[in-house]
A and B are shown apart, each in its own frame.
Chain A
């Protein structure tokens, strides 16, 4: 048998990797507290009473005291690789690693899921083994370290089998990404599905599911035949289609004005695209109420002029629609501006040279080329509208939609997790279909006509009969948007909107007052607490999001492996999972051992990481595709490992993408609400959930003042970032990034 130098090299490297993980696993088993600490993952109260206090003891100490003896078998797979460390190139080495890793992982999770806080979780186990008389809490440091060890035993074993050229780093990275996506995306969704299939007593029953699923409140068509509401599913669908179409149209108008009108300040329009990213939920809804509500300025004025009775017309479909169009038009604009610019001027020139009129050129050349972009923008608007939570909550009236209905199924007096799960499934069905359609029809085709090969010329202008309507619509919409946002700023400075318009700093003082006392600066305002928590959580989530996103992007762009399509689908999937669904599934999945995370700051961080992961991936893919592969190859040829190449060559070149992912996920974490509202706890209250509390309490002034502060905080972050990296490099990641759903 031939032994190549690569084999030998990977052999020694594999040995070092295994040794390192063995030590880590050893620490997990013998040193670190095995169970989750009541006081939080990062508290150090456990040092007191460690290692003998059962709450804080490592697994080995527990077993030596005769407790939790079901943890004892884990020592076998941990130490198994010791026997073959000297025989790394043999087949036995890889086999044993795979066996140790797989069996260790399996046993670790099997015991975690079968023995819970009340002894055996499953009835049949209690019958089989008798009552356990003991219980266990969630995984802590020890269990996490040990499971990492088992995971990397497994991947190193697989790599030693020669998979992906025996590259330990790449196989490990793939295994790591698969593991976290499985735990934090697929597992919660699966838990949710299973909870939808259970009746109130926890017995699985398909008929219960069918009866809940086919409920009249979800699918009823009363609005077509009689004077009453339709089911929530139809409401959501109808709204999403309208909003998708309207935002696409407006987005196209803006894209044309910005690029094809000769309009000098077209670039200023681009600033609009930042708005939806930095606008906290509810504020647009509140501004709409203040303008168009029964006592809103515009309603009152129109009613006065036309001598009409003011009505509550804005509550329901019209209000949600206006608010969502304001929120999501910039997203369509972002997508379409790229598409419109991407159409090669030379094609249009060719058409005109052949004596086609401007209108004919537009109709037969330009428009067909941007059509796929339109479909893409429509689907994005559709998904965003489906997932939107804040606007329907404030403006919904009697028009119920899925995202808010899910929330009220959980939090209301009805308190029915099963119903919430069923509704979440319906919502997920819609968004996944749209997501699938987007990828299926548009994902693979290339409509790019710019080849980078001497494609000079500038874009032809629009024909007049399109230009003028576009100008009009764009102007009206810009004026409207500016009005709404100035309302928001103004609203924070008046005593009580609609009643007393005296200017005041009252709301800012209540929320953000700073005082001095004997300890120095003292943050007196009511909002500081949630503001700092939000900053910390967002700052903690950002680097993790960037890291996970970039590793995934690296694997997708630079490596070839089986099942890569599925890998890509899995990592992008969270894009199509609405926040409310994430929230529901997280509380169902992570409230009980072995993965016990509710009430911690970690669950918030994790939810942000996985909700924003597709953004990191896209930013990474975009910038990595621009790096010539010969750079990596040069490094690899010179004998560097893939890990070293990744670290020394690729990462430094991707700095702009990394920064973009960092800032984006930071900003997103500050404005997220839909998942957050299910996951906040006493200690970790977030800004958005504080704001919703004020809205509920009629304190619009405070809600708006706080939102304004958030807007300016985020603007500062973005501007600093732009200054740091420069405009051109950042536009692309941002352009691609605002595709995650609310």
Chain B
């Protein structure tokens, strides 16, 4: 046995040696919850700008929160960039992230600062996007359906089986939808709306942007998503039209947080400041990210939905981002809406 063990160890080391990175270098472990190409752009851009080696993992914001929570007693990540704000706020609430006041704050939009302050400076807004929906023009036409313009329109019986949204249990986007509807119509009427919508839903997807991607590919007609996701499909050449609902709508603030007890805190702070600069934020257009960026001087695309022209509700991030309210609403949705027959 002894020798076989030695041999095994030798073989293992020989083979694994090539897997490891043996060079001592400045490092940063970067969790990213935005789209893959944007994540890559940020990682490579930071490496080029600073020479710090970036190890990146891309997971959805929910997944990343889960990972940070699981690793809480032994954090492996340093900075968490992107993804809808609620999980970031929740991480702040759970004490998984640390407060940091970046010197870049003076250059940022007010909504970014106010969101940061609501979380005790443990997170900061990097972009924002309004909720809405998109529809596939061709399929709408093929089915002789009217063109929708408001939230209420989606309840029309002729849209039965044509609407898709994500499951609020698994997607931050869909939870924002639920919270928006509740804030827009009031809780009772809001839930009546969700029940009506439920009749028209063909599938609750797991991921937030899946409904509009399905619509783009012609697998669905109307997808309730963030408008910038819908714009992206339209710009990519799919027959998608974007709708900003007439009653007004909620929005998300894509955020960034420093992970508590991270192993490379100084590098993480460098990244944090760097990611808030106008130059870096303007590069979002390279990857067709049509959100509104938090740095006032950052360029935005002509195709991006203009937040100023959309009726935005006064979204209460503190209340609807708290885990107690989230749990309550999700449970109510589970019990009262998702179990209904369609």
Q: Which residues of A does B touch, CB under 8 Å?
A: 17, 20-21, 38-45, 48, 116-118, 137, 148, 152, 155, 168-169, 172-173, 176, 222, 226-228, 289, 293-295, 309, 312, 315, 397-398, 404, 408, 410-415, 417, 496-500, 526, 533, 536-537, 539-540, 543-544, 547, 551, 587, 591-593, 596, 598-599, 601-602, 605, 643, 680-685, 693-694, 696-698, 700
Q: Tell me whether A411 and B20 are in contact in the complex, defined as CB-CB below 8 angstroms, given that A176-B1, A547-B8, A698-B217 are known contacts.
A: no
7 cross-chain CB contacts under 8 A: A228-B339, A404-B206, A413-B87, A551-B4, A599-B76, A601-B20, A698-B216
B57 within 8 A of A: yes
Contacts of B236 in A (CB 8 A): 496
- Asked if B5 and A148 make an inter-chain contact with CB atoms under 8 angstroms apart, the answer reads yes
Contact flags (1/0) for B220-253 with A, using CB distance below 8 Å?
Answer: 1000000000000100111000000000000000
List 9 extra interface pairs beyond A45-B22, A412-B206, A685-B57, CB under 8 A.
A43-B22, A289-B219, A411-B60, A414-B62, A526-B40, A533-B19, A536-B18, A601-B16, A684-B19
Whole-angstrom distance between the alpha carbons of A295 and B1 in the complex? 60
* Bound Cα distance from A411 to B1, whole angstroms: 42
User: Which chain B residues numbered 1 to 45 have a C-beta less than 8 Å away from chain A?
Assistant: 1-5, 8, 11-13, 15-22, 24, 29-31, 35-36, 40
B99 in contact (CB, < 8 A): no
Nearest CB of chain B from residue A487's CB, rounded to whole Å: 15
Nearest 7 pairs of A and B residues by beta carbon: A295-B218, A412-B170, A172-B1, A682-B55, A42-B20, A411-B63, A227-B341
Binding site for A on B (CB under 8 A): 1-5, 8, 11-13, 15-22, 24, 29-31, 35-36, 40, 55-60, 62-63, 65-66, 69-71, 73-74, 76-77, 86-87, 139, 143, 161, 167-172, 175, 202-204, 206-207, 210, 213, 216-220, 233, 236-238, 263, 326, 330, 339-342
Other-chain residue from B20, B40, B57, B207 in contact with A696 (beta carbon distance below 8 A): B207
Q: Given that A21-B2, A48-B24, A172-B2 are known contacts, is A698 also in contact with B213, CB under 8 Å in the complex?
A: yes
Residues of chain A within 8 A (CB-CB) of B342 are 227-228
Cβ–Cβ < 8 Å partners of B233 in chain A:
698
A42 touches B203 (CB 8 A): no
Instruction: Point out the residue from B20, B218, B326 that lies within 8 Å of A43, measured CB to CB.
Output: B20
Q: Are B217 and A293 in contact (CB under 8 A)?
A: yes
A131 CB, min distance to chain B CBs, angstroms = 16
Q: Which residue of chain B is the closest to A698 with respect to CB atoms?
A: B213
- CA A533 – CA B20 in complex, angstroms? 10
B62 touches A228 (CB 8 A): no
Given A38-B263, A413-B169, answer yes or no on A168-B1 (Cβ-Cβ < 8 Å): yes
Pick the residue among B5, B17, B62, B238 that contacts A412 (CB under 8 A).
B62
B36 touching A694, Cβ below 8 Å = yes
Q: Is the CB of A413 within 8 A of B168?
A: yes
Are the CB atoms of B70 and A417 closer together than 8 Å? yes
A45 engages B24 (CB within 8 Å):
yes
Q: Across the interface, which residues of A come within 8 angstroms of B19, CB to CB?
A: 42, 533, 536-537, 540, 601, 684
Instruction: Output the nearest chain A residue to B86 by Cβ-Cβ distance.
Output: A413
Task: Enumerate chain A residues within 8 angstroms of B2, measured Cβ to Cβ.
Answer: 17, 20-21, 152, 172
CA distance in complex: A657, B19 (Å): 27
Given contacts A21-B2, A172-B2, A540-B12, contact A696 B203 (CB under 8 A): no
Closest to A309 in B: B143
Taking a contact as CB atoms under 8 Å apart, the answer to whether A498 and B218 are in contact is yes
Q: Which residue of A lies closest to B28 (CB)?
A: A682
A605 contact set on B, CB distance < 8 A:
16
Complexed CA–CA distance, A408 and B170 (Å): 7
Within the complex, which residue of A172, A294, A295, A693 is in contact with B58, where a contact is CB–CB below 8 Å?
Answer: A693
Q: Are A44 and B22 in contact (CB under 8 A)?
A: yes
Contacts A412-B170, A682-B55, A698-B216 hold; do A43 and B69 have CB atoms under 8 A apart? no
Which of B30, B35, B218 interacts with A294 by CB under 8 Å? B218
Are B70 and A591 in contact, CB atoms less than 8 angstroms apart?
A: yes
Determine which residue in B4, B60, B87, B238 has the highest number of CB atoms from chain A within 10 A of its CB, and name it.
Answer: B4
Given contacts A413-B168, A698-B217, contact A152 B161 (CB under 8 A): no
Contacts of B18 in A (CB 8 A): 536
Task: A227 to B143: give the CA distance in the assembly, Å.
Answer: 25
Bound together, the chains give a CA A41 to CA B9 distance in angstroms of 13
Chain A residue contacts of B326, Cβ below 8 A = 413
Query: Which residue on B lies nearest to A20, using beta carbons?
Result: B2
Contact A43 B21 (CB under 8 A): yes
Which one of B13, B57, B171 lies within 8 Å of A413 (CB-CB)? Answer: B171
- Inside 8 A of B63's CB, which chain A residues have their CB? 410-412
Contact B202 A312 (CB under 8 A): yes
> Contacts of A155 on B, CB cut-off 8 Å?
1
- Smallest CB–CB gap between A50 and chain B, Å? 13
Nearest CB in chain B: distance from A481 CB, A? 23
Are A498 and B217 touching (Cβ within 8 A)?
yes
B12 in complex: contacting residue of A414, A544, A592, CB < 8 Å: A544
Select one of B16, B139, B219 contacting A42, CB under 8 A: B16
Interchain nearest-CB distance for A552 vs B (Å) = 12
Known: A398-B204, A601-B16. A543 touches B1 (CB 8 A): no
B172:A226 contact, CB within 8 angstroms: no
State the Cβ distance, A25 to closest chain B Cβ, in Å: 12
Q: How far is the CB of A345 from chain B (nearest CB, A)?
A: 44
A128 to B256, CA, bound (A): 42
Of A226, A295, A410, A601, chain B has the most CB atoms within 10 Å of the CB of A295
Q: How many Å from the CB of B91 to the closest CB on chain A?
A: 11
**Distance (whole angstroms) from the CB of B68 to the closest CB of chain A:** 10
Q: Which residues of A contact B17 (CB under 8 A)?
A: 42
B238 contacts which of A172, A499, A526, A685 (Cβ < 8 Å)? A499
Bound-complex Cα distance A293 to B20 (A):
43
Q: Measured between C-beta atoms, what is the minimum distance from A650 to chain B in Å?
A: 12
With A and B bound together, what is the CA distance between A398 and B203 in angstroms?
6
B210, A696: Cβ atoms closer than 8 Å: yes
Which residues of B are found within 8 Å of A587, using beta-carbon distances? 70
- Given A228-B342, A500-B237, check contact A415 B66 (CB 8 Å): yes
Closest beta carbon of chain B to A536's beta carbon, Å: 5
A426 vs chain B, min Cβ distance (A): 18
Shortest distance from the beta carbon of B255 to any chain A beta carbon, whole Å: 15
Q: Which residues of A contact B59 (CB under 8 A)?
A: 411
- Given contacts A40-B21, A43-B22, whether A117 and B74 have CB atoms under 8 Å apart is yes
Distance, CA A694 to CA B37, complexed state (A): 10
A295 touches B57 (CB 8 A): no
Closest Cβ of chain B to A670, distance in Å, is 15
**B202 / chain A contacts, CB cutoff of 8 Å:** 312
Note all chain B residues with C-beta closer than 8 A to A412.
62-63, 167, 169-171, 206
How far apart are the CA atoms of A725 and B35 in the complex, in Å? 46
With a CB–CB cut-off of 8 A, which chain B residues contact A169?
Answer: 1
A117 / chain B contacts, CB cutoff of 8 Å? 73-74
The CA-CA distance from A17 to B8 in the complex, in Å, is 17
User: Which of B5, B139, B204, B210 has the largest number of chain A CB atoms within 10 A?
Assistant: B5
Asked if A173 contacts B1 (CB within 8 A), the reply is yes
Q: Hey, which chain A residues are within 8 Å of B139, CB to CB?
A: 294-295
- Contact partner of B36 among A408, A592, A693, A700, CB < 8 A? A693
Contacts of B62 in A (CB 8 A): 411-415
Known A-B contacts A176-B1, A643-B4; the reply to A598 vs B71 at CB < 8 A is yes
Most buried by B among A500, A587, A682: A682
CB distance from A218 to the nearest CB of B (A): 13
Contact check, B21 vs A697: say whether CB atoms are below 8 A apart: no
Which residues from A are CB-within-8-Å of B203? 312, 315, 397-398
The answer on a CB contact under 8 Å between B16 and A41 is yes
Minimum Cβ distance to chain A for residue B284 (Å): 16
Q: Which residue from chain A places its CB closest to the CB of B171 in the assembled complex?
A: A413
Bound complex: CA A397 to CA B203 (Å): 6
Cα distance, A419 to B239, chains bound together (Å): 40
Contact present for B73 and A116 (CB under 8 Å): yes
Contacts of A42 in B (CB 8 A): 13, 16-17, 19-20, 22
A683 and B16 form a contact (CB under 8 A): no
Min CB distance, B262 to chain A, in Å? 12
